[in-house]
């Protein structure tokens, strides 16, 4: 018996009857030999962790564009916080931690430079539309490894695709990540807003704080405990009605007072204009895209889609560098007089 098979047996013995067992995965689009050590979801986690798209997250905006400070969240730190929250909940509920972690680490791979500002402008200018959750799936299925993709299991891709508020994953592990994502950005973004002196604790309505807690740490602790308590031994992931409503109201407060805050968003107009110019430039100079994307174009992929693939994969700084290269005049010299 291999180590992987021993781990799979332990999952059957230890995990909840509602857990998604590795051995019961719907599998991959392309069949491949099993690893002798790692179950399928652990392999998916490792593939995401070692991907180029994951490494680029460290230089992509979470909320604040190019902040002057070392401690503001990036898309990478947000992803790690989602993963940690989700694993804590999964462990307490005896659900599959490997599946939870794989979904969490992959859920934002498709995010653009400059956060949701970048996503919004690509969605506006590309006629096929652009959504970061769909792009995350496209990355793991088609773009990583020079077009080969990561060949992840169905359950991981389902969780990545359906992590947004308006959607619902098919596994409890995916549902954990969906809630953990909200818990992470609501609390960490508010913490960053305090650091930026845009908001203070007393700005949050008192009724919300009475339910969820009077500081960021308390609210994070309350939300995680509430999910665990209300989901224990159930075939669903949920919060109490009171806490769920308070979290919804806190999320609304964040949208009104931070995500649309003119100070926090003051550079977004510039970021959007820059990405729009890059989009039109590459549409007119398609041959300047990497060869692996041009191969996709030759194989029938939509021109605008592969331009979105390239731009959305950029880090903030790389997008700025390419904009300077194409649109900003550089100093030049003439020898002699």
Domain that residue 255 falls in? 3-266
Q: How far is it, in rounded angstroms, from Cα 321 to Cα 328?
A: 10
In 10 A of CB 154, how many CB atoms?
14
CB neighbour burial string for 281-296, b if at least 16 within 10 angstroms, e if fewer: bbeeeeeebeeebeeb
The encoded tokens of residue 3 equal 């180590």
**Domain CATH code at residue 146:** 1.10.3210.10
Q: Given this model, what pLDDT does residue 309 score? A: 98
Residue 274 lies in a domain: no
Cβ–Cβ < 8 Å for 169, 159: yes
Residue 92 lies in a domain: yes
Q: How far is it, in rounded angstroms, from Cα 302 to Cα 321?
A: 26
Q: Given this model, what pLDDT does residue 332 score? A: 67
| pTM of the entire predicted model | 0.95
- Model confidence over 116-142: pLDDT tens digits? 999 999 999 999 999 999 999 999 999
Q: Given this model, what pLDDT does residue 262 score? A: 80
Residue 335 lies in a domain: no
Residue 275 lies in a domain: no
Please identify every stretch of the chain with a pLDDT value under 50, giving residue numbers as ranges. Answer: none
Q: Given this model, what pLDDT does residue 71 score? A: 80
For the CA atoms of the chain, what is the radius of gyration?
A: 22
Residue 306 lies in a domain: no
Residue recorded with tokens 């880090």 = 315
Q: Coil, strand, or helix at residue 149?
A: coil
Question: 333's torsion region: left (phi>0), alpha (psi -120 to 50) or beta?
Answer: beta
Residue 179 lies in a domain: yes
Q: Given this model, what pLDDT does residue 266 score? A: 75
- Provide the number of structural domains found in the chain: 1
Q: Given this model, what pLDDT does residue 335 score? A: 66
Q: Given this model, what pLDDT does residue 66 score? A: 66
Q: Coil, strand, or helix at residue 74?
A: strand
């Amino acid at each position: 018996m291999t180590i992987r098979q021993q781990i799979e047996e332990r999952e059957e013995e230890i995990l909840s009857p509602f857990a998604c067992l590795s051995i019961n995965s719907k599998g991959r689009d392309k069949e491949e030999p099993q690893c002798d050590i790692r179950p399928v979801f652990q392999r998916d986690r490792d593939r995401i962790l070692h991907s180029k798209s994951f490494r680029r997250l460290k230089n992509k905006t979470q909320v604040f564009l190019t902040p002057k400070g070392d401690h503001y969240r990036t898309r990478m730190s947000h992803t790690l916080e989602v993963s940690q929250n989700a694993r804590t909940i999964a462990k307490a509920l005896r659900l599959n931690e490997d599946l939870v972690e794989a979904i969490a680490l992959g859920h934002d791979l498709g995010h653009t430079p400059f956060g949701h500002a970048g996503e919004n402008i690509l969605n506006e200018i590309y006629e096929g539309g652009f959504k970061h959750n769909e792009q995350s799936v496209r990355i793991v299925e088609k773009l990583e490894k020079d077009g080969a993709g990561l060949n992840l299991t169905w359950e991981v891709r389902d969780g990545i695709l359906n992590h947004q508020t308006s959607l619902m994953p098919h596994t409890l592990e995916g549902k954990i990540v969906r809630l953990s994502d909200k818990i992470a950005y609501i609390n960490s973004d508010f913490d960053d807003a305090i650091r930026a002196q845009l908001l203070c604790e007393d700005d949050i309505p008192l009724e919300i704080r009475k339910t969820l807690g009077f500081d960021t740490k308390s609210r994070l602790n309350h939300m995680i405990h509430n999910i665990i308590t209300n989901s224990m031994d159930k075939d669903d992931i949920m919060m109490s009605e009171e806490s769920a409503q308070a979290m919804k109201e806190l999320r609304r407060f964040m949208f009104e007072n931070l995500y649309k805050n003119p100070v926090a968003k003051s550079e977004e107009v510039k970021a959007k204009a820059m990405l729009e110019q890059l989009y039109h430039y590459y549409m007119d100079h398609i041959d300047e895209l990497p060869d692996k994307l041009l191969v996709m174009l030759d194989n029938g992929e939509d021109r605008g889609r592969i331009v979105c693939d390239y731009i959305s994969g950029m880090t903030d700084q790389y997008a700025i560098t390419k904009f300077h290269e194409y649109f900003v005049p550089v100093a030049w010299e003439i020898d002699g007089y």
